[in-house]
Amino acid sequence: MARVTVEDCIDKVENRFELVLLASHRARLLAAGAPLTVDRDRDKNPVVALREIGDETITADDLKEQLIHSMQKYVEVDEPEAETVPLLSSSPAAAAVAPQAASSDDSAVQFDRMSEEDLLRGLENLAPPVETDDEGD
C-alpha cells in the first residue's frame, strides 16, 4: 500500500487549498460510483483521490471543470430576441388610441411595430440634453 502525501500532489496542483477542494470533489465522485483509475489497496476515497491526482491518472484541470459544473445552479442560455419591438411613442395617433383602449376590450388595441434596427437608428439620432448656465447655479 503506497502512502500519498501532500508533497506528491503539490507539484500537480500548486495551491494546497485548491488541492483539498479537488481531492474532496473526486472523493465524492468515487463515493457516488465513479470508476477508479488506480488500485484501491483498501484505501478510503480521499486517499484514492489524492493518489489519482499524484499519479496524474486524472488531471487537475478536468477535476476543476467538473467541480465548477457541479456547483452551478443556473446556466444562462442565450435566446434570440423577438423580431419586432412594439413602438412606444407620444404621437397624436398613439394618444388617440389610448382613450379608446380604455373603453373597449383589449383585443381592439393595435400597436405599431418597429424592427430592432429601426429602434437603434432612432436612438442614435437623439441628441444629449444641453446644459445651460442656469442649471449649474
Q: Where in the chain are the domains?
A: 6-71, 84-125
Kindly list the distances between the CA atom of residue 5 and the CA atoms of 43, 103, 135, in Å, as whole numbers in the listed order.
14, 79, 70
Residue with cell 488541492: 19
Q: Tens-digit pLDDT profile for the chain (137 aa)?
A: 467 777 888 888 889 999 999 999 999 999 999 999 999 888 999 999 999 999 999 999 999 999 998 888 876 777 777 666 566 655 555 555 555 545 555 666 666 777 888 888 888 877 776 777 665 55
pLDDT value at position 38? 92
Length of the chain: 137
Query: Could you tell me which residues are beta bridge partners of residue 113?
Result: 86
The strand ranges marked E within the chain are 84-86, 113-115
CATH fold, domain 6-71, is: Eukaryotic RPB6 RNA polymerase subunit (3.90.940)
In the chain, the amino acid numbered 52 is E
In the chain, the amino acid numbered 1 is M
Whole-angstrom distance, CA of residue 132 vs CA of residue 58? 67
